[in-house]
A and B are shown apart, each in its own frame.
Chain A
């Protein structure tokens, strides 16, 4: 059990002097009453120079108003007060305690202000304890810095990943379109042959029938009453076969069949036209033809949803990649058909403008809310429920138009409808037009 008396005042004083942190005692007016070795060593001033002066005389770096208020609050409330290196790194302007290996110039400090009472319990003054936290601070700062660097790298990577995903999706999409195009071309070719000879045969059949009926008529003419009576089975056969009806119906039958075959021919032609498999090169194309063939190809999808009104202006062929432009038309038309409701209407306008040609797809559907209007061209952005549309269409269309040095814009009013407008220049800049890069073109 230590006896307080055994530790003399001198011992206590030398302890305070020697301790490895700053110790100060000030009175209510901030006059220094005591200062220890730490303070002298780091301030370069001896205790004699410090005692008796105010804090602000010896440490001019201290903010006077704040310090006085601090002292005042400790005295009034009789409780501790603190400062932390994080908010106030250098209360006292001391040099770094790592003169060789340190990376910072000044000492980082945590300070404590504590009330000191006299023997009667009254307030004597305020004590200050200053501890050197340079090491901790330096390490913390480094960690923070490293974290910032990591965060930057992370967001750069996230951006890169997003771009890669977009590029991959686009590549997939164009591979799909290319595959479909190939398929379409192959199917078209397979269909063409049989359609060819069926068509021709039906025509030949028609000619044969003309001759056959002429012959039958001649036979009928030649037979008279006597012959008819001698061969009643002929009349019976005639009735059974419903000869009159058949003869008349055959004409209609043939006409309808020929029409049917014409339709098939047209569909195949439209499919080939749309997929343009033969042209992954810059060519002059008539956009109206592209629009028409695209419309034909997706007619089944649109015909129950909207009425299509074509207001084609006067345009001339433009230099472009036909298959890609058709893909854009396909996307815009399908989107329009999805947007409209009852009495759906899709209007296609076209015309010349500013050294180029514009095509507008206008619908009277639900429109696009203002706050997302500038996001709709973002890849993967979609307002459709999961499974319906990849959200890739508009962004692909946008980049196709951009690659053609054109512009794709939208005007929309929620509840009234939308107008998508593509403008394309008549010709491409020289360098561009001669490059046939299969990968880039996709």
Chain B
């Protein structure tokens, strides 16, 4: 089973979606992974959590009331460019997505309904990319780790 091994690095992953069932199913999916999960049901709540904890990866729904995915992720990226943002979208608004990709504040997008394996793979790749980016930006840090 999946017990946390001290040698394994843990990541802080935040899941943002206004539907709790989606959050729960994602939580179940990611149970065996070395992730500390934070859950938020709104953009505002997500930002609050973001203030309190350093976050490695955010999986965020595109359409939410009051503050939508792109707005949240844009703000997050401004504050911490090393946080990997993934947009979960059931609404294939390609122009919005291509814009977000080219603006650089999301790593990738995943269409709803997602395939479990694909989602897991994407998260893995996102975190790998984070490593690479951290190396590039802070070579000294790597040595100290």
Contact = CB atoms under 8 A, between A and B. Distances in A.
The short answer to whether A and B are in direct contact, CB under 8 Å, is: yes
Interface of A: 189, 192-201, 203-204, 211, 265, 272, 278
Given A200-B29, A211-B1, A193 B116 contact: no
Contacts of B93: 278
Given A193-B19, A200-B25, A200-B28, A278 B113 contact: no
Interface string B93-116: 110000000000000000011101
Contacts of A189: 90-91
B29 A196 contact: no
Interface string B19-46: 1011011101101000000000000000
B21 to A, nearest CB: 5
Given A192-B113, A193-B22, A278-B93, 10 more contacts: A189-B90, A193-B21, A194-B21, A197-B25, A199-B116, A200-B114, A200-B116, A201-B25, A204-B29, A204-B31
The 8 closest A-B pairs by CB, nearest first: A197-B25, A196-B113, A204-B28, A192-B90, A200-B25, A192-B112, A196-B112, A195-B113
A200 B26 contact: yes
A278 B25 contact: no
A204 B24 CA distance: 11
Interface string B113-137: 1101000000000000000000000
Interface of B: 1, 19, 21-22, 24-26, 28-29, 31, 90-94, 112-114, 116
Contacts of A201: 24-25, 28
B95 to A, nearest CB: 9
A203 B22 CA distance: 14
B29 A203 contact: yes
A211 B21 CA distance: 23
Nearest to B63: A189
B113 A265 contact: yes
B90 A197 contact: no
Contacts of B91: 189
27 contacts: A192-B90, A192-B112, A193-B19, A193-B22, A193-B90, A193-B112, A193-B113, A195-B113, A196-B22, A196-B112, A196-B113, A196-B114, A197-B21, A197-B22, A197-B24, A198-B25, A199-B116, A200-B114, A200-B116, A201-B24, A201-B28, A203-B116, A204-B25, A204-B31, A211-B1, A278-B93, A278-B94
A393 B86 CA distance: 44
Nearest to B22: A197
Contacts of A278: 92-94
A200 B25 CA distance: 6
A189 B88 CA distance: 13
A201 B116 CA distance: 10
Contacts of A196: 22, 25, 90, 112-114
Contacts of A265: 113
B1 to A, nearest CB: 7
B44 to A, nearest CB: 21
Nearest to B91: A189
Contacts of A194: 21
Contact of B113 (A199, A211, A272): A199
A192 B63 CA distance: 13
Nearest to A279: B94
Contacts of A195: 113
Contacts of B94: 278
A367 B39 CA distance: 62
A195 B114 CA distance: 9
A211 B114 CA distance: 24
A194 B22 CA distance: 8
A172 to B, nearest CB: 28
